[in-house]
Structure 1
Amino acid sequence: MGFNKAFLKRDNQYVLPQTAAAVRRLLPQVVFVTNQKQPFLAQPAFQDYSIFEDQWRDRGPLGGLVTALEQVTTPYVFLMACDIPHISNTLMQPLLTAVTNQQVGLYQQHDRLETLFALYHRSCLPLFKAQLQQGIGQIRYHFKALDVKVIQSNNIELRNINTPAELPGWRIKKIG
């Protein structure tokens, strides 16, 4: 994209805080994990949220997930990429309801596990941390060693925005 997708705007408003406000109605705490905290602190739209600086820079989403698992006090972290445009209660609720005692809960669309729209229990932290220390950044690398709840759903659309050409079709669906 050529810029930090966390700062995508729609109608002159940052999309991420709008999405976070909607998610906040379903979850008790919403935090952002980023490589550089300062640009977020400089924008009033982000001031209502905790912002953690990634302790595992340049390790991809797993580094951000480990940072979140190390810092939050809730049993689970719901990991969501900052650039998923179509978020709805009907998309999140089945996942939140289906995960009871599992360590990971996520959707599978066709043959693809949606690791960036998933629940991760704090008990995953030691394995994920060891994985990062070994230089393995793929979130699902050790899924066989974890209790993973996979929800088959070929009728949902989870996709993120990867190119400027996709921006005109960006539509925000509010949760609730």
Structure 2
Amino acid sequence: MILAGGRSRRMGRDKACLEIDGQTLFSRTREMLCSVFDQVLIGGDRPDLATAQIPCVSDIYPGSALGGLHGALSAARTPWIFAVPCDLAHPDPELVRFILARKDGWDVVVPRSPAGLEPVFALYHKNCLGPMERMLARGDFRIYDFYHQVHVRYLDSETLPAGWARALRNLNTPEDLRRMSKEEP
């Protein structure tokens, strides 16, 4: 599931449509997910990005990443969704596979970097729907506030495969984009 329903306020323009090396961030993420999964959904009301093969799923509770996760998890044909934000410059299928291989016995598998949790690049089971819905109904939109109600496996940065930091670096501001452009080979 590609989270693409945000308003990109800090960037000042639609992050999904930003281009890196002639390819939009959205298409980079879409191609990466399609290389790993049979079904890919767009979380958020984004008919401009949707295709017949990759539909968008409108949020039942609009206005947050948690609402996007909930909507996509509700619509998914499988018991799991892997959430990825649309603003990653270098989404890595090997990091996704690494996380997938650690799901047995858990409801959520989430990377934890020195900067904190990465809840929008994580694996969620349908067991999360009830706690998510209760939170959303009361106006609580912080994704990890329901983690204490489900079984969560935290993958600390020292256990993640090489390249994880580059793969998880998202672009939120024009400065992030400039800084990344200067670092690119």
TM-score, shorter chain, exceeding 0.5: yes
- What's the TM-score, normalizing by structure 1? 0.84
Between Structure 1 and Structure 2, how many residues are aligned?
165
Cα distance in 2 between the residues matched to 1:23 and 1:38? 18
**1:113 matched residue in structure 2:** 117
TM-score by length of 2: 0.80
Do 1:34 and 1:54's aligned partners in 2 also have CA atoms closer than 8 Å? yes
Alpha-carbon distance in structure 2 between the residues aligned to 1:170 and 1:122 = 38
What pairs with 1:53-64 in structure 2 (closer than 5 Å)?
A: 53-58=58-63, 60-64=64-68
> In structure 1, what is the equivalent of residue 32 of structure 2?
22
Shift of 1:39: 2.9
CA offsets 1:55-84 (integer angstroms, 9 cap, x no match): 2221x1000001001111111011111102
1:39 matched to 2:44 = no
Residue 135 of structure 1: which of 134, 139, 147 is its match?
139
Q: Percent identity?
A: 28
Distance 2:52 2:31 in 1: 12
- Give the match for residue 5 of structure 2: none
Cα deviation 1:106-142 (Å, max 9, x = unaligned): 1111251110100000111011011100110011102
- 1:161 paired with 2:171, answer yes
- Unaligned 5+ segments in structure 1 are 172-176
Structure 2: 5+ residue stretches without partners:
1-10
Amino acid at match of 2:49: F
Q: For 1:84, give the aligned amino acid.
A: L
State the 1:19 CA deviation.
2.0
Measured in 2, the distance between the counterparts of 1:101 and 1:162 equals 33
Is 1:67 equivalent to 2:71 in the alignment? yes
Deviates more, 1:23-32 or 1:152-161: 152-161
> Aligned residue for 2:15?
5
Instruction: Please show how residues 97-108 of structure 1 align to structure 2 within 5 Å.
Output: 97-108=101-112
Q: Distance in 1 between matches of 2:138 and 2:94?
A: 37
1:174 matched residue in structure 2: none
Match of 1:152 among 151, 156, 172: 156
Q: In the superposition, relative to structure 1, how do residues 87 and 18 fare at CA in structure 2: closer, same or farther (>3 Å)?
A: closer
